[in-house]
Chains A and B, each alone.
Chain A
């Protein structure tokens, strides 16, 4: 590794640039050279993982291009009535995770809480990886992504949450990348500013993502201020789970042992994770109870979720794997057993995926004309992901996993000095 840079008392701009150039030459380039050699000397399982990841990405990309060729209407399970399917829910899954990782990293990097520092570098890296996976998936959901690039600028719809989503997440990704670069240049002051900008844009972007659904006043199950708030709480929970999950895996890949600060960090993050599970559970329970006092737009959804076709999704995946079992595992292991914590967070990652799926699909299963009592819309609507959609989802997951594995090698386990 490199020599730590001397901190200058009051650097002016030219000095700062000189400083950055210097640190780039001395640290960044040598860093890359040494990681290249490190990468080539990877273990066999490392290459196997990479190969599997590449194959899945390739299959997903083929599926995506085939969907473009035959048209999304034919390729996807989404319909006129259930317009948004698993692609949107997976996109939400990834950006929730990304925002959560950003918040968790900021506790250490921006607010200076020591116990959160060891995990922060990896969290910043993964927040970039997951947001990119999310963007990749939504690129194959939006019919004309190129028009979006043009008319988001030329004809901005400022009342639209989708416009703000594109703009704010764009800014968020930019700041996170800048933060990551400054972290590697060991310029912690600028990294902190970039981190703060990333955190603010991330939180605004993410609550706005909740508002995409929360502001649809024709959709009773979603409408209201609940979702923007829930999305932030849920993001922090997902972020905690993701960083424990990936840190444990990272240490397995490099087959290193965690040092004391890292173990301590994992413990603290797991405690925060437990608290966030409790908060999210609390929100879900109140959402259900208040929903039953409402009209069919809510009660029909809740019935489908609790005892209807989505009961397995809800009770087994969302509640069981996503929240309750990990909660119990955290409590009973007293946050000290790393393997138990990994198991708990792996379950959570799986369960949370279903949580997003249910949120998106359930909001659409009650037809718009349900209460009119017409024959066409007496029952609830159905949606099943198509083969193409599943391929694209797998591509997003494989992209995340592959980039993560690569990142562990390239950035040598995201080690960070205590600063």
Chain B
């Protein structure tokens, strides 16, 4: 974990008399959020981007170029690692035991106050600038022009695995049964195309961690969750510049 670089010991003590406990708490929250202590140093300005005031509906459509613009917002602090999402995914999408489309990572923070462990679900981020799609030699993986899902066309996959290396989120594996790379596709073939509204993982989650929906729809849950100023929203590995569509937040 990253340490604060400010030399706290040599700072002059201005006294705490004038600071109310509420102010202190708010201040600490901001500090921790900015330095990304609780987000593992991954907190970047997803908020400032997403909360930009759009001049017109056209501009908003440009920001979310797909219709529906599928997205998932993970309310990370609610995750209890029950793994029902993983089980549901494996069952729905016939994921073999040697692979996974989604998994839950755990992070121990021994010096945290109170809860000292948190869980971070990860899956394909269905990036707007997907490194895997660029890397594929045979267009076996593409960004769906309508809904923005990063799709696999199994019959075209030559198994060079360059997409596995290109993916910043470790979302891809080689599936022996399919003789191709396999990955999360937001259950488009197994559920969404059959009229169901949620992915298997989102439906299976008992704690409301996985919120799935259309980011271009201002009435959707995901839109509302992402567009609030008072709550930091972040993405994983923003430095890669892949522009993911999977967002994280607390609370």
**CB within 8 Å for A163 and B161 given contacts A143-B179, A372-B42:** no
**Inter-chain contacts of A148 with B (CB < 8 A):** 137-138, 158, 160
Judged by a CB distance under 8 angstroms, whether A287 is at the interface is no
How many residue pairs bridge A and B at CB < 8 Å? 143
| B181 (CB) vs chain A CBs: closest residue | A143
Q: Is A73's CB under 8 angstroms from B174's CB?
A: yes
Q: Is A80's CB under 8 angstroms from B99's CB?
A: yes
**Inter-chain contacts of B155 with A (CB < 8 A):** 147
In Å, the complex CA distance between A72 and B42 comes to 35
Interface positions, chain A 204-237, Cβ under 8 Å from B, are 212, 215-219
In Å, the complex CA distance between A71 and B179 comes to 10
In Å, the complex CA distance between A54 and B242 comes to 48
Judged by a CB distance under 8 angstroms, whether A354 is at the interface is no
Q: Is B1's CB under 8 angstroms from A80's CB?
A: no
In Å, the complex CA distance between A231 and B40 comes to 36
Judged by a CB distance under 8 angstroms, whether A145 is at the interface is yes
**CB within 8 Å for A160 and B173 given contacts A148-B138, A373-B41:** no
Query: Could you mark each residue 138-155 of chain B with 1 if its beta carbon is under 8 Å from any beta carbon of chain A, else 0?
Result: 111000000000000001
Judged by a CB distance under 8 angstroms, whether B105 is at the interface is yes
**CB within 8 Å for A143 and B159 given contacts A84-B165, A148-B138, A160-B134:** yes
Q: Is A371's CB under 8 angstroms from B158's CB?
A: no
Query: Could you mark each residue 84-100 of chain B with 1 if its beta carbon is under 8 Å from any beta carbon of chain A, else 0?
Result: 00000000000000110
Judged by a CB distance under 8 angstroms, whether B236 is at the interface is yes
In Å, the complex CA distance between A148 and B165 comes to 18
In Å, the complex CA distance between A407 and B93 comes to 53
Q: Is A163's CB under 8 angstroms from B107's CB?
A: no
Q: Is B137's CB under 8 angstroms from A368's CB?
A: no
Judged by a CB distance under 8 angstroms, whether B157 is at the interface is yes
In Å, the complex CA distance between A374 and B138 comes to 34
Q: Is B137's CB under 8 angstroms from A162's CB?
A: yes
Q: Is A371's CB under 8 angstroms from B40's CB?
A: yes
Judged by a CB distance under 8 angstroms, whether A417 is at the interface is no
Q: Is B241's CB under 8 angstroms from A376's CB?
A: no
In Å, the complex CA distance between A159 and B170 comes to 21
Interface positions, chain A 80-124, Cβ under 8 Å from B, are 80-81, 83-84
In Å, the complex CA distance between A165 and B137 comes to 9
Assign chain A's interface to a size class.
35 or more
In Å, the complex CA distance between A162 and B176 comes to 21
Judged by a CB distance under 8 angstroms, whether B169 is at the interface is yes
**Inter-chain contacts of A376 with B (CB < 8 A):** 105-106
**Inter-chain contacts of B157 with A (CB < 8 A):** 143-144, 147
Other-chain contact of B107, A218, A364, A375 (Cβ < 8 Å): A375
Judged by a CB distance under 8 angstroms, whether B192 is at the interface is no
Q: Is A212's CB under 8 angstroms from B162's CB?
A: yes
Judged by a CB distance under 8 angstroms, whether A10 is at the interface is no
Shortest CB–CB separation between residue B163 and chain A, in angstroms?
9
Q: Is A157's CB under 8 angstroms from B120's CB?
A: no
**Inter-chain contacts of B241 with A (CB < 8 A):** 217
Judged by a CB distance under 8 angstroms, whether A36 is at the interface is no
Judged by a CB distance under 8 angstroms, whether A142 is at the interface is yes
Judged by a CB distance under 8 angstroms, whether A41 is at the interface is no
Q: Is A372's CB under 8 angstroms from B173's CB?
A: no
Q: Is B165's CB under 8 angstroms from A162's CB?
A: no
In Å, the complex CA distance between A371 and B168 comes to 12
**CB within 8 Å for A372 and B161 given contacts A160-B136, A377-B105:** no
Judged by a CB distance under 8 angstroms, whether B50 is at the interface is no
Judged by a CB distance under 8 angstroms, whether B229 is at the interface is no
Judged by a CB distance under 8 angstroms, whether A286 is at the interface is no
Q: Is A372's CB under 8 angstroms from B135's CB?
A: no
Q: Is B174's CB under 8 angstroms from A147's CB?
A: no
**Inter-chain contacts of B120 with A (CB < 8 A):** 372, 374
Judged by a CB distance under 8 angstroms, whether B191 is at the interface is no
**CB within 8 Å for A374 and B40 given contacts A148-B137, A217-B131:** yes
Other-chain contact of B138, A72, A141, A155, A165 (Cβ < 8 Å): A155
In Å, the complex CA distance between A374 and B118 comes to 9
Judged by a CB distance under 8 angstroms, whether A170 is at the interface is no
Q: Is A147's CB under 8 angstroms from B105's CB?
A: no
Shortest CB–CB separation between residue B52 and chain A, in angstroms?
24
A71-B176, A151-B139, A216-B131 are known contacts; what are 7 more A-B pairs with Cβ within 8 Å? A147-B155, A157-B136, A162-B135, A162-B137, A368-B237, A374-B107, A376-B106
